[in-house]
Structure 1
Amino acid sequence: MDQIQHKFVDVGGLKLHVADIGTGPNVVVFLHGFPEIWYSWRHQMIALAAAGFRAIAPDYRGYGLSDPPPEPEKATFSDIVSDLRGMLHALDLSKVFLVGKDFGVRVGYLFATLHPERVLGIFTFGAPYMPPGSSQFYKYFPEGLYISRFQEPGRAEADFGRLDAKTVVRNIYILFSRSEAPIAEKNQEIMDLVDPSTPLPPWFTEEDLAAYAALYDKSGFQTALKVPYRSLGEEFNLADPIVKVPALVIVGGKDYSLKFRGVEDLIKSGKGKQYVPNLEITFIPEGTHFLQEQFPEQVNQLILDFLGKHF
């Protein structure tokens, strides 16, 4: 971890934090999800650097050590995609491999469709490529699902505000590590779904939790609730929605998100190849939503194998 360097790049007037390790022309950019941060890629960054790659993991605007946008309530996926392009320009990187997790999958695929000349390949976790016109899928979620609750202005802020950042992250890691999606009763809040005595997942240490807590103490959750949860309906007019670069999705067999409407079918039926023709799919049967932290050695090898075939 001491070998990972930390720097800030100026993108659109914001100082964005970037974690960076390794040298050379072969660059992999890691795109985090929620409640994650650059730190969630620590195992992969170290492994890739040891294998001769350069690994870069930014904090999105409003996350971790990056500056918040001037109006967090107006943040969008488009902003994140634009920031990624600006970051590559600031670091003088012409082409990279992208690795995305959770809503970072959407960021990665959007970038690959909008700027295909900048992407060599894309490796994602859990979530498949959602084809055009599918951005309204969230409307079918039950009212008590955490996504629905996080979309409601003020509700998650009040729920999280009863606790410190460390407890919020702790609760979300516990909830998202289960095979069932977190769904609250009508008069129940998402944070109340976790008994305070529940232990952390065995692969996530108190030291890890402290690292996350320190970052969210700094950033808060305002931008994180806007992107992704309150921006899911954002539409993109893609001239060409086909992702032509090599792609691999790795799926945990016990990831609760497989049970979202249409997700498992899109992954297992092969329909995803309609929009991502060079798609490969790999399952880790015991894997949950946090594969890269739960099974780092296995995931690292899958990434290195994928890079070895396409670099």
Structure 2
Amino acid sequence: MTSAPLIDLNDGRTMPVLGFGTYSIDDPGVMTEAIESGYRLLDTATRYENERAVGRAVADAGVSREDLFITTKLPGSEHGRDTPRAALEASLERLGLDHVDLYLIHWPLPRVGKFLPTWEALVELREAGLTRSIGVSNFLPDHLETIVDATGVAPAVNQVELHPYLPQAVQREADARHGTVTQSWSPLGRKSDLLDHPVLQRIGQKHGLEPGPVVLRWHTQIGAAPIPKSATPERFRANLGIFDVTLDEEDMAAIAALETGERLGGDPAEHEEF
């Protein structure tokens, strides 16, 4: 059984560099099989409405809780100084856990204007032991500057849309300035033609990989931590094999040339999700 390597976080902890995304998956059996295949990071959110399924998978997998890394996220409806604790406690009840390993602010909601007091609340939740690490999702560079300047605490992780069409070089540089790991959601460019691109087909043939694992290896080689979603055991098992292959400079340059700059999801500067 293969497990993903660990990546260092800026708070002294570590996190698997490859995780299992659970968005739109509510079958705990699929998640249990992912854990048994070698995945140690499961990513969920209150908005996904599957925290109970994730908790069931954790209980059923037969893997020590301390060997697992569980992430969940605070919904926009709970932004503020006083509401995140109750929101996290409700998530923990659904998960059947006494702590999560990473708690994220799901979206910054800049028009609402409460992401700073929300971040201050997450700092307290970490100090209380309800989460081991804290981070953000979909935060732009100026959002990061705001919370770090005010609190002196940088997010351990910033989870953003990232794939070869949107490599997010500027965002990754901003994250790196704070020692923040850039974690990739939609790493395979869901709802796009990315995996059918002839460049990825060619690189895959060269290395004996399908296009999906090629893209995931690209993520890890640029320093990002992808969390692909798949309910197909053959695919999520194959994804764990990416660390046996190294893409060369020609491969990386060819993938870099695929950039279009177009988002497949919401723009954090204006997207609102409650």
- Per the normalisation by structure 1, the TM-score is 0.26
- Per the normalisation by structure 2, the TM-score is 0.28
